[in-house]
Chains A and B, each alone.
Chain A
Amino acid sequence: MSHSNRLHGGLNLGQAHAETHRQAETMVFGFWIFLMSDLVLFAVILATYADASVHGLADGPGPAELFELRNPFIETLLLLASSVTFGMAALHLKYQDDRRGLVLWMLATGALGLVFVAMEGWDFYSLVVHDDAPPQRSGFLSVFFLLVGMHGLHVIAATVWMLVLLIQIGRFGLMPDVKLRILRLSIFWHMLDVVWVAIFTFVYLSGVAR
């Protein structure tokens, strides 16, 4: 393998020597593998959802009765926008070495994530309180809460991670380790977006269409 294609495309580690680049490559590769196993998690729960949303209704309400598209659609827009803002942050990280821009775009991303989680929390609340549809009501609702809640937990974890990184930017500046962590968080964030697109499609859109 030639030297150049071992460098990671998303990152400029500056004057760091070859060994740093090699370590960066290993680090990011390992993270991609982690994402694969994380995707298996969502795939398995989605498959269970496919079964439970048809056969697991018991006497409770089904997707068509419970879901409406307005909130999930706004949530989708929020998450997609947050991917764009994180993309802007990544550009600042790679090309401008501009700490202020980077931090501002990351803050915007985190804020969008928090609004997303808050809206999702509101959705859960109204399902439980207004629609009398808590996860204990039927197999379908159990899996629904698990699937969407698992994604929500991932977003919360990513937001905490972002907070830690903001502190580290302040404390250490943009040293290679911190840059690599930001890069990995951004890949993680985009993956959560992809997972949400799957959830929006297979849970909400096809739930309403049924």
Chain B
Amino acid sequence: MNDEMTYWLLGRLDWQALPFLRAWNHPALSELIAAAAGGLVVLGALAVAVLLTVYRGWGPLWRDWLTSLDHKKIGIMYIVIAGIMLARAVVEAALIRLQQALAVNDAGIVTAEHFGELFSTHGTIMIFFMAMPFLTGVINYVMPLQIGARDMSFPWMNAISLMLTAAGAGLVMISLVVGKFSTGGWTGYPPYTGIEFSPGVGVDYWIWAVTLSSLGSTLTGINFATTLYKNRAPGMELFRLPLFCWTALCTSILMIFAMVPLTVATLMLALDRYAGFHFFTAGSGGNMMNYANLFWLFGHPEVYILILPAFGIYSEVIATFSGKTLYGYRSLVYATMVIAVLSFTVWLHHFFTMGQGANLNAVFGVATMAIGVPTGVKVYDWLLTMYRGRIRLTTGMLFSVAFLVTFVIGGLTGVILANPPVDFAVHNSLFLVAHFHNMLIPGLLFGMIAGVQFWFPKAFGFRLDERWGKAAFWCWFGGFYLAFMPLYALGLMGAMRRSSQWFEPQYVPYLLTALAGAALILAGLACLFIQLWVSVRNRDRLAAPLGDPWDGRGLEWSVSSPPPEYNFAMLPQVRSHDDFWEAKQDGRAYREPKRYEDIEMPRNSATAPLIGLAAAAFGFAITWQIWWLVALSFTGIWVIVIVRSFQQDIARVIPAREVAAKERAWLAEVESARPVDRFAETTRQNRGLAEVSP
């Protein structure tokens, strides 16, 4: 086969793309680590395939999960993606800390290029393939239940969003086995990421993975917003929405407006690289500062896309485990809205040093500090919700309290950074790295973990083990402080981010402390997985199928656990904020509907996973320039969409009889169960029926 033929068939692919071969040829430590990582991906995929075959899981996986349009299953699948990607990115973080701790006047364990890949994948994954799927999954699962809806407004589009995100995540995983990932950081700034300085496939992997996931998120935003505006149960006025739904609404509005600039930026970068355009090149009229503007026009609202849903989760968790209604509900709603609006006015603070002049910097600095005000309002509201409450310190609550303390510290360093003159001094240093980890770990990850602890019994019908949960909490909490407080000091001492080597011996104690913190965080992650394992094994002892394990307040607790496919046998009639809580007080809860009706639900569809598959093929093919596959997969996606639009039989009717039988069985179980005092909710007695408290 001649070279031209090979290029036509396989594009840029060759044997050197495999890390195993590179490690065989140059068995340096850095290459061995890369080969081990690639091997882990291959072995993991093989293990899953073998297990699925042994336990005959392929059929159920396809029928019950991948083709499902049920928002609850889609939500769970999002969270599974987030969990897998979280594990990879935390391991990478530990490697980054290890390298920096060892590389004082030394080469360390990985080469500079490999180190670049490590921090690029770590950031890209944490933002696009951990945080985004995680919050999208939680909103997907919880929001329709909270507003009294049976599904999203656009269930099929929901599945497509999931599959596009999965395709992007798949590309990042494949880059471990075939080729190399970008070394341009999660922001991918040109001209470094331009073809001149990064000719390999790495940046292309980054471009297409991020593009697929950002398209998915745009569709998700449209879906969430439409659902929240149009699918609420009768009586569910906007100001009766649980606060989590308000934060979901603000997040989805931000997604609608902010994801597009990112898609534009990555596509322009792609045109620069593939077709010789000059959007961001150093010469020929290109302007890389436009990239910084476009990227952060997305990037700053993105910060609030990430943080707001966590704020919503904390509001639910704190109110529930304090046994009080949320303090200052309206002020929290307004604060959330103000934050969402302000988030579009501060993007420039990411590049104060780019040279746009002092006055402009001052305006954006002031706007940045202004965001502290509504956030402060929220912190006080949460504190006052706890004040004089009967607080139960469950795992979810512990994460929430830790968030309050830690987030305020991160906010303070944010206000410091909002000062342009200060920012000039610490720009791109580890001080900045410490700051944004100080916002995002408590402000996103702790929230998502708290949300999982809180809603897991709703989704699966049994609680999570508290002992391992608390162990995980202390590891994460302590690990965070150990890992990131030293970075503030290092930043002030002049340590720049993304450095693979140091020449300052006085950094050593700080770097070693941070390394210990990373180890503790790794232990925390392990505890979470062990918690899941232990809880599944003890699921009979932890069972809470009746639906209300925490003496909950919102509509999601008013149905069985797990909820039936259609969520509500009869759409609820909402009378107030905290409707289910008040229903329990008034004795309105657990009443049988007067009549049952047939319920129409969307039928499963193979089209969404097929589109995801085609999208992944597209991303892989265009990265490696396999042009026939690019054309085939791109056409394939649109052919599938068109074919789907011709399908008539897309709904399935669940007969009233079936609904009635299920509902009556559950209500009979509730009738015969013994309610549990809320201080005994972590004991075996808790079957999911709460004692009505005075």
B264 contacts which chain A residues (CB < 8 A)? 41, 44-45
Shortest B577–chain A CB gap in Å is 20
Where the two chains meet, the residues of B that have a C-beta atom closer than 8 Å to any C-beta of A are: 153-154, 218, 221-223, 225-226, 229-231, 256-257, 259-261, 263-264, 268, 271-272, 275-279, 281, 283-287, 290, 294, 297, 642, 645-646, 648
State the CA gap A205–B642 with chains docked (Å).
Answer: 38
B154 contacts which chain A residues (CB < 8 A)? 30
Docked-complex contact B279 and A37, CB < 8 angstroms? no
Of the candidates A34, A56, A135, A137, the one whose C-beta lies within 8 Å of that of B287 is: A56
Q: Name the residue of chain B whose CB is nearest to the CB of A138.
A: B285
A44 contacts which chain B residues (CB < 8 A)? 260-261, 264, 294, 297
Q: Name the residue of chain A whose CB is nearest to the CB of B280.
A: A139
Within 8 A of B (CB), among A103-160: 135-143, 145-146
* Residue A12 is within 8 A (CB to CB) of chain B in the complex: no
Of the candidates A57, A136, A164, A171, the one whose C-beta lies within 8 Å of that of B277 is: A136
Q: Name the residue of chain A whose CB is nearest to the CB of B258.
A: A40
Q: A41-B260, A51-B287 are in contact. Are A34 and B222 (CB under 8 A)?
A: yes
Docked-complex contact A139 and B279, CB < 8 angstroms? yes
Most buried by B among A29, A60, A139: A139
State the CA gap A126–B642 with chains docked (Å).
Answer: 34
Of the candidates B259, B278, B297, the one whose C-beta lies within 8 Å of that of A136 is: B278
**Residue interface mask A15-56, B partner, CB < 8 A = 1:** 000000000011101100110111011001100100110011
Docked-complex contact A30 and B285, CB < 8 angstroms? no
Docked-complex contact B230 and A26, CB < 8 angstroms? yes
B153 contacts which chain A residues (CB < 8 A)? 26-27, 30
Of the candidates B230, B257, B271, B648, the one whose C-beta lies within 8 Å of that of A25 is: B230
Docked-complex contact B287 and A52, CB < 8 angstroms? yes
A145 contacts which chain B residues (CB < 8 A)? 277
Shortest B17–chain A CB gap in Å is 29
Docked-complex contact B256 and A33, CB < 8 angstroms? yes
Shortest B598–chain A CB gap in Å is 12
Q: Name the residue of chain A whose CB is nearest to the CB of B256.
A: A37
Of the candidates B221, B226, B284, B645, the one whose C-beta lies within 8 Å of that of A37 is: B221
Of the candidates B222, B268, B275, B284, the one whose C-beta lies within 8 Å of that of A138 is: B284
A-B contacts, 20 listed (Cβ < 8 Å): A26-B230, A30-B226, A33-B256, A34-B222, A36-B257, A41-B264, A44-B294, A44-B297, A48-B279, A55-B287, A56-B287, A57-B285, A58-B278, A136-B276, A139-B281, A139-B285, A139-B287, A142-B279, A164-B642, A164-B645
Where the two chains meet, the residues of A that have a C-beta atom closer than 8 Å to any C-beta of B are: 25-27, 29-30, 33-34, 36-38, 40-41, 44-45, 48, 51-52, 55-58, 60, 135-143, 145-146, 164, 168, 171-172, 181
Docked-complex contact B259 and A58, CB < 8 angstroms? no
Of the candidates A34, A56, A164, the one whose C-beta lies within 8 Å of that of B278 is: A56
Shortest A151–chain B CB gap in Å is 14
Docked-complex contact A142 and B278, CB < 8 angstroms? yes
State the CA gap A46–B449 with chains docked (Å).
Answer: 41
Docked-complex contact B260 and A40, CB < 8 angstroms? yes
Shortest A27–chain B CB gap in Å is 8
Shortest A171–chain B CB gap in Å is 8
A29 contacts which chain B residues (CB < 8 A)? 226, 229-230
State the CA gap A44–B279 with chains docked (Å).
Answer: 13
Q: Name the residue of chain A whose CB is nearest to the CB of B281.
A: A139
Shortest B287–chain A CB gap in Å is 6
A143 contacts which chain B residues (CB < 8 A)? 279
Q: Chain B contact residues: over half helix, strand or loop, or mixed?
A: helix
Shortest B295–chain A CB gap in Å is 11
Shortest B241–chain A CB gap in Å is 16
State the CA gap A171–B647 with chains docked (Å).
Answer: 12
A25 contacts which chain B residues (CB < 8 A)? 230
Of the candidates B223, B268, B283, the one whose C-beta lies within 8 Å of that of A30 is: B223
Q: Name the residue of chain B whose CB is nearest to the CB of A45.
A: B264
Shortest B336–chain A CB gap in Å is 19
B279 contacts which chain A residues (CB < 8 A)? 48, 52, 139, 142-143, 146
Shortest A172–chain B CB gap in Å is 8
A34 contacts which chain B residues (CB < 8 A)? 222
Docked-complex contact B284 and A58, CB < 8 angstroms? yes
A37 contacts which chain B residues (CB < 8 A)? 218, 221-222, 256-257, 259-260
State the CA gap A26–B264 with chains docked (Å).
Answer: 28
Shortest B102–chain A CB gap in Å is 43
Shortest A170–chain B CB gap in Å is 12
Docked-complex contact A142 and B271, CB < 8 angstroms? yes
Q: Name the residue of chain B whose CB is nearest to the CB of A40.
A: B260
B272 contacts which chain A residues (CB < 8 A)? 142
Of the candidates A40, A56, A146, A171, the one whose C-beta lies within 8 Å of that of B268 is: A146
Docked-complex contact B286 and A56, CB < 8 angstroms? yes
Docked-complex contact A168 and B226, CB < 8 angstroms? no
State the CA gap A168–B294 with chains docked (Å).
Answer: 40
State the CA gap A16–B223 with chains docked (Å).
Answer: 25
State the CA gap A181–B595 with chains docked (Å).
Answer: 35
A136 contacts which chain B residues (CB < 8 A)? 275-278
Query: Which 7 pairs from chain A and chain B are nearest by CB?
Result: A139-B285, A56-B285, A58-B285, A138-B285, A30-B226, A142-B277, A26-B230
Shortest B164–chain A CB gap in Å is 15
A139 contacts which chain B residues (CB < 8 A)? 278-279, 281, 284-287
Docked-complex contact B260 and A146, CB < 8 angstroms? no
State the CA gap A40–B225 with chains docked (Å).
Answer: 17
State the CA gap A145–B278 with chains docked (Å).
Answer: 11
B294 contacts which chain A residues (CB < 8 A)? 44, 48
State the CA gap A41–B230 with chains docked (Å).
Answer: 25
State the CA gap A48–B261 with chains docked (Å).
Answer: 11
State the CA gap A35–B646 with chains docked (Å).
Answer: 23
Shortest B301–chain A CB gap in Å is 11
State the CA gap A63–B186 with chains docked (Å).
Answer: 36
State the CA gap A58–B285 with chains docked (Å).
Answer: 5
Q: Name the residue of chain B whose CB is nearest to the CB of A58.
A: B285
Q: Name the residue of chain A whose CB is nearest to the CB of B265.
A: A44
B229 contacts which chain A residues (CB < 8 A)? 29
State the CA gap A41–B278 with chains docked (Å).
Answer: 19
State the CA gap A29–B153 with chains docked (Å).
Answer: 10
A45 contacts which chain B residues (CB < 8 A)? 264
Shortest B222–chain A CB gap in Å is 5
Q: Name the residue of chain A whose CB is nearest to the CB of B223.
A: A30
State the CA gap A30–B223 with chains docked (Å).
Answer: 7
B646 contacts which chain A residues (CB < 8 A)? 168, 171
Docked-complex contact B284 and A26, CB < 8 angstroms? no
Shortest B299–chain A CB gap in Å is 14
Q: Name the residue of chain A whose CB is nearest to the CB of B290.
A: A48
Docked-complex contact A168 and B285, CB < 8 angstroms? no
A27 contacts which chain B residues (CB < 8 A)? 153
B259 contacts which chain A residues (CB < 8 A)? 37
Shortest B77–chain A CB gap in Å is 22
Q: Name the residue of chain B whose CB is nearest to the CB of A53.
A: B285
State the CA gap A29–B230 with chains docked (Å).
Answer: 8
Q: A33-B226, A55-B285 are in contact. List 7 more A-B contacts (CB 8 A).
A: A25-B230, A33-B225, A36-B257, A37-B257, A41-B264, A142-B277, A146-B271
Most buried by A among B229, B260, B284, B642: B284
A60 contacts which chain B residues (CB < 8 A)? 285
Docked-complex contact A58 and B226, CB < 8 angstroms? no
State the CA gap A171–B646 with chains docked (Å).
Answer: 9
Shortest B418–chain A CB gap in Å is 25
Q: A37-B257, A164-B645, A168-B646 are in contact. Are A135 and B277 (CB under 8 A)?
A: yes
State the CA gap A138–B261 with chains docked (Å).
Answer: 22
Q: Name the residue of chain A whose CB is nearest to the CB of B262.
A: A44
State the CA gap A37–B255 with chains docked (Å).
Answer: 9
State the CA gap A136–B286 with chains docked (Å).
Answer: 10
State the CA gap A138–B276 with chains docked (Å).
Answer: 10
Q: Name the residue of chain A whose CB is nearest to the CB of B230.
A: A26
Of the candidates B257, B283, B297, the one whose C-beta lies within 8 Å of that of A58 is: B283
